[in-house]
Amino acid sequence: MRVLVTDNVAQEGIEVLRRAQLEVEVRNKLAEDELCEIIPRFDGIIVRSATGVTARVIDRAGNLKIIGRAGVGVDNIDVPAATARGIIVVNAPDGNTMAATEHTMALMLSLARNVPQADARLKSGAWDKKAFVGVELRNKSLGVLGLGRIGSGVARRAYAMEMDVLACDPYISEERARELGVTLLPLADVFRRSDFITIHMPLTKETHHLLDDAAFALMKDGVRIINCARGGILDEEALYRAMTTGKVAGAALDVFEVEPQTTSPLLGLPNFIGTPHLGASTREAQVSVAVDVAEEVIAALHGELVKNAVNIPSLKPDVLKDVGPYMGLAEKLGRFHAQLLIGRLNRVEITYSGELAAFRQVEPLTTALIKGVLDNILQERVNYVNALLIAKNRGIEISQTRVDRAEDYTGLIAVKVISSEGEHELAGTLFRGDDARVVFINGYRVDAVPEGHMLIISHTDKPGIIGAVGTLLGEHEVNIAAMQVGRKRIGGKAVMVLTVDSPVPPETLEQITTVDGIMAVRMVSL
């Protein structure tokens, strides 16, 4: 079997492939036309970030069984096209964990002791000790936003340096936090109490500009900020204002909202440290990701299980025949729940009823559902192979029950999510074999197609509410495509589900909450 390796993947990974008796061809700087021409000869391909494995390339890849990304992000790979062709896509999510963890610590220490500024001053010919008096990390409070692999690694090292480690992560258990020596707190309390704040969260619509003017206003005067996660989580204009007023004593960014970045006004501030996205740039990390992805490629080509699949791994034909039609529904129910979730996730209870109860295996559906819950709220990449392990490591309990009867439905997936702030339930089914529907929300019967942008509104069942909401949306040029209302009795509580053509702006959501009788409003995008 033949494997194509591009983008200067570390030699150590190539040697792993050759020791497994695979024929390896190394080609760098391949344009799409060149790749389309040669890809039919290969059973596997390994890339870094430069080579694009597009739908056109995949369409030409008649023998391709696996695409390996020597790194984390797979933006340069058309994953849906690969999945449609039955090609496994794998990455190496753990290979750069230590590099990013250590880079965070390096920036934190540099901030505390003014290392880059003192170095630059000395090299300019000035011996200036008084200008660079620093602070110690010992006995300072470190706020860690996100306790994934990297955040947890930073927390452990900060604890060893006698820092008081605070953290905000609603998807990790108190028990796991205690093991790390971390105190879990709400986000606002982390802002208020921290001397240093380090970001280790994914960039989502919820975390975009999470650190803005309002967030900086909550923080201590003289706080120091580090971001080695994703650009865009931190509002750079707000950071600039906070640094020029003295609210923020110093900041160190390895990532920017727009990259490459050489013109940001932050770069002109003496209390700012910037690095050009070096979090994964160590020799050891490059070797590690190359070896990791090479081993995954070998396993896949030998028909063995791969642990870092980005798309769905192969299922036996009889199992796929049963659960295949329900996989998309299960993942959408999980993604739906993730966007309704408030507080720390503690438990997920799944009930399979009707024909689902008779399936030989429903575990792939459970995995798809948990992947949907975790995928957009965690920094680490969640896939069908590691979703249950990630949930277990974070102390999230999962129960799975089968019930023969499914009321009026051929098959029904009912999911209850229990968090520190309460619980909510969803249930979904398939009509005519492949038409996914959400049919219950918190016990209220609805009939909603889980796709696009959906507004979920809990309210009192009384005249005028639907009209008021429609008027507000119309005033903000948000078009309603479909509407469902579920209630149990006249004048009681009800739930309104509006499918809209575009996301509803936050200020509009805030206005909707002021309508008399509205109890809660959530925006869900699928």
Q: Return the CA Rg of the chain.
A: 25
Burial zone of 182 (CB within 10 Å; 0-12 exposed, 13-18 middle, 19+ buried): buried
Task: Give Cβ neighbours of residue 321 (< 8 Å, ≥ 6 apart).
Answer: none
Q: Are strands 435-441 and 422-431 parallel, antiparallel or unpaired?
A: antiparallel
Token duo for residue 359? 């399936």
Of the candidates 287, 286, 280, 311, which has an alpha carbon nearest to the alpha carbon of residue 386? 311
Whether residue 27 lies in the annotated active site: no
Catalytic, out of 23, 25, 162, 259: 259
Task: Give Cβ neighbours of residue 157 (< 8 Å, ≥ 6 apart).
Answer: 101, 105
Q: Are strands 493-500 and 480-487 parallel, antiparallel or unpaired?
A: antiparallel
Angle between helices 115-123 and 97-113 (to 10 degrees): 60
Whether residue 178 lies in the annotated active site: no
Q: Return the sign of the alpha-carbon dihedral for residues 159, 165, 169, 173.
A: positive
Task: Give Cβ neighbours of residue 357 (< 8 Å, ≥ 6 apart).
Answer: 402, 403, 404, 406
Of the candidates 168, 243, 254, which has an alpha carbon nearest to the alpha carbon of residue 207? 168
Of the candidates 81, 66, 74, 96, which has an alpha carbon nearest to the alpha carbon of residue 305? 66
Catalytic, out of 56, 277, 437, 453: 277
Catalytic, out of 200, 230, 335, 459: 230
Taking CA atoms, 319 is separated from 88, 330, 356, 415, in Å, by 18, 15, 12, 21
Residue whose pair of structure tokens reads 């229990």 in the numeric block: 418
- Cis peptide leading into residue 260 (ω within 30°): yes
Spatial separation of the C-alpha atoms in residues 8 and 185, rounded to whole Å:
43
Angle between helices 97-113 and 283-301 (to 10 degrees): 160
Residue whose pair of structure tokens reads 């596997």 in the numeric block: 44
Whether residue 405 lies in the annotated active site: no
Under DSSP, the state recorded for 497 is: E
As annotated, the active-site residues are: 230, 259, 277
